[in-house]
Amino acid sequence: MLLRRHYGYEIVRQTGSHLRLTTLTAGEHRVTLPAGQLRVGTLAGILSDVAAHHRISRSELEERLFG
């Protein structure tokens, strides 16, 4: 998982079809995502939330994760 490798996110629980990820990098941050396939809008929202927490632009986050 790219968020784990680059930003220290770990799965802390699964409730139904959703995963809760938490990191302590740059302060505590939690994000919930579907366990299955992500829709484009959902992925965009998650990336925006993670980028805001780490105080970087979404494009910079995308480059780090997918570049």
Q: Sheet holding 29-34: strands in order across?
A: 10-15, 18-23, 29-34
Listed residue (7, 12, 36, 34) closest to 22, CA to CA: 12
pLDDT of residue 18 exceeding 90, the answer is yes
pLDDT tens for residues 28-64?
Answer: 999 999 999 999 999 999 999 999 999 999 999 999 9
Give the predicted TM-score (pTM) of the model. Answer: 0.89
Residue span of the structural domain in which 12 resides: 2-66
Q: Note the pLDDT of residue 65.
A: 94
The tally of domains found in the chain comes to: 1
